[in-house]
Structure 1
Amino acid sequence: MTSAESKSELFTVATGDGGDNHQNQPKKLPFFEHYIQPCLAEVVGSFLFMFVGCVSVMGNVGISGSIQPALAHGLALAIAIAIFGEISGGHFNPAVSVCVYLIGGMEVILLVPYIISQMLGGVIAASLAKAVTTNDAFSNATGAAFNAIPSSDGIGAATMAEMIMTLFLTIVVSMGAVNGRTKSQLAPFCIGLTVTANILAGGGISGACMNPARAFGPAVVSGHWTHHWIYWVGPLTGALVTVSIVRLVMGDKKVRVIFK
């Protein structure tokens, strides 16, 4: 299989017109590589990225600022996308998967399995993070669950922050890794840097999750479900706003639904 027929074509918008000769179409992958291997890559990639993230949060308790978790999350995500991107697209985030599907970047049959795989990876990551840290560190960090919202007064701001930060993240994913006209080889590192920037900017408001699976795993392991819904509603809303922007105005001709 040539580089032009790589697995990543399963998760990006097709570049050929309907009338192209069949000889120019990518070869069909075996069932395992088409459906099973991408889901396994999402489990493993989500686990590695979220394990590093959870441990960095537990190790940052008592330290002012969020440089350590910001760098840890961003670097781990960039590396995981670079390694697994050719297999699964390197989503590791239900909000990203929903966004990529809605802009035409993946098959609907893979959407739910991807989300389940990401949540499973998050639970495994949080469980092993608990196993390698002390009880005090785990308790003080609430098991790396998101507890940045001190009271109900901050719910609106936190939800809005999660929406905007996820909007930024999914715009970078959509334009850097899916949209044919703007795709870049630097997409993994742009995505990682976006996560780092968002954590530095919004960590004090909501914890800067941007990822329902990253919130779900630690919540399961620690039993901390307070305000957990924010980390689903905010990111998914941000992803839907991105879909609207890309589909209506920012996508290339194959992605836009108007002004073709």
Structure 2
Amino acid sequence: MPLYRIAVGTPGEASQPDALRAALAEFFSMIIFVFAGQGSGMAFSKLTDNGSNTPAGLVAAALAHAFALIVAVSVGANISGGHVNPAVTFGAFVGGNITLLRAILYWIAQLFGSVIACLLLKYCTGGMVTTAFGLTEGVTPWNAVIFELVMTFGLVYTVYATALDPKKGNVGVIAPLAIGLIVGANILAGGAFDGASMNPAVSFGPALVSWSWSHHWVYWLGPMLGAAVAALVYDNFFIDAALEPLSTSDF
């Protein structure tokens, strides 16, 4: 069980320069990701008269989020590990790969980065609404929780296999690509039902800026559960118990 490796961290860790730099990297990576992902939907709506909910809009959203996440993970990988997602950070914490104090720093930076990106988009577009995630007709909140759980499980499982597994070898080189592609694929699968967030920060920014909180809890519960399950499954079944967990400098 990886749970024995869970650590709170030292009291002074939150003020250490490397921890602060890592949090700052997460902040900027989140701005890059949300600005491109949310902005692509706003641009598509403007160009097609609110056509972002069409099949073409879904494909555009999937591609924009996949490309932006590949970049956002890559630019933060050597500093913070390139989590760019509170659920990924939670999954890393459950597996003993990051302390609670550092995880809290990451969460604050990720949420703040998402809000700043949405505020920038609202200003740059002359006041266009940053659309909050929501459920489509016929989809219940618990349907959406399962959607988010399964999609985030796939995402965090991919993170473990390509970035956290000590045996990853050369596979680690393609981690940002694999992570971006699974997010894009999941948006194609779930985007028409609940928006396919897989990322509490990505949901939080637009919800705060547009002040639209309908079923917002779905986009926290589902991803956090999915991340925890992925961490427990991968760590218990595929990571050699004799190996030491990765240091935070590795992820």
> Shared topology, TM-score over 0.5?
yes
Partner of 1:101: 93
What's the counterpart of residue 170 of structure 1? 156
The match for 2:249 is none
Higher relative contact order (CA 8 A, sep 6+): 2
Q: Runs of 5+ in structure 1 lacking a partner?
A: 1-12, 14-29
CA distance in 2, matches of 1:114, 1:207: 24
1:60, distance to aligned residue in structure 2 (A): 2.9
Correspondent of 1:233 among 200, 221, 235:
221
- Give the drift of 1:240: 1.2
Q: Return the match for 1:203 from 191, 214, 218.
A: 191
The count of aligned residue pairs is: 221
- Which ranges of structure 2 fall in alignment gaps of 5 or more residues? 6-14, 246-251
1:110 maps to 2:102: yes
Q: CA deviation at 1:231?
A: 0.2
Which runs of at least 4 in structure 1 moved beyond 4 Å after TM superposition? none
* In structure 2, C-alpha distance between the alignment counterparts of 1:242 and 1:194, rounded to whole Å: 14
- For residue 134 of structure 1, report the CA deviation from its aligned partner: 4.4
SS at match of 1:144: coil
Compute the TM-score of the two structures, normalised by the length of structure 1. 0.80
Aligned twin of 1:43: 27
**Deviation for aligned residue 1:155:** 1.4
Look up the match of 1:9: none
Of residues 115-124 and 62-71 in structure 1, the stretch that sits farther from structure 2 once superposed is: 62-71
1:146 alignment counterpart: 133
- Report the CA distance between 1:181 and its aligned residue: 1.1
- Output aligned runs, 1:207-222, within 5 Å: 207-222=195-210
Aligned runs of 1:10-21 on 2, under 5 Å? none
Contact 2:94-2:232 at 8 Å conserved across structures:
no
Identity of aligned residues (%): 37
Contact kept? 2:36, 2:68, Cα under 8 Å = yes
Per the TM alignment, residue 179 of structure 1 is displaced from its structure 2 partner at its CA by 0.9
Amino acid in structure 1 at the alignment position of 2:167: R
After superposition, the C-alpha distances for 1:39-92 in whole angstroms (9 at most, x for unaligned) are: 100101011111111111212333312011111111111111111100000011
Do 2:145 and 2:219's aligned partners in 1 also have CA atoms closer than 8 Å? yes
SS in structure 1 opposite 2:79?
Answer: helix
State the distance in 2 between where 1:227 and 1:212 align: 12
Following the alignment from structure 2 to structure 1, what is the Cα–Cα distance between the partners of residues 120 and 69? Answer: 18
Q: Distance in 1 between matches of 2:63 and 2:230?
A: 25
- Structure-2 change in CA distance of 1:174 and 1:226 (3 Å): same
Label 1:255 to 1:167 Cα distance change in 2 as closer, same or farther (>3 A): farther
C-alpha change, 1:175 and 1:190, in structure 2 (3 Å) is: same
Counterpart residue type for residue 44 of structure 1 = F
- Aligned partners of 2:41, 2:195: CA distance in 1, in Å? 10
2:179 alignment partner, one of 191, 200, 203 = 191
Instruction: Give a deviation string over 1:228-255, Cα, whole Å, max 9, x none.
Output: 0000000001011112202221223327
For 1:72 and 1:134, the matched residues in 2 are separated by: 21
Superimposed CA distance per residue, residues 6-46 of structure 1 (whole angstroms, 9 cap, x where no aligned partner): xxxxxxx9xxxxxxxxxxxxxxxx942x2111010010101
In structure 1, how many angstroms separate the alpha carbons of the residues matched to 2:110 and 2:131? 17
- In structure 2, C-alpha distance between the alignment counterparts of 1:117 and 1:125, rounded to whole Å: 12
Distance 2:19 2:227 in 1: 24
Given that residues 78 and 192 in structure 1 are in contact (C-alpha distance below 8 angstroms), is that contact kept between their aligned partners in structure 2? yes
Larger-Rg structure: 1
Give me the TM-score of the superposition, normalised by structure 2: 0.83
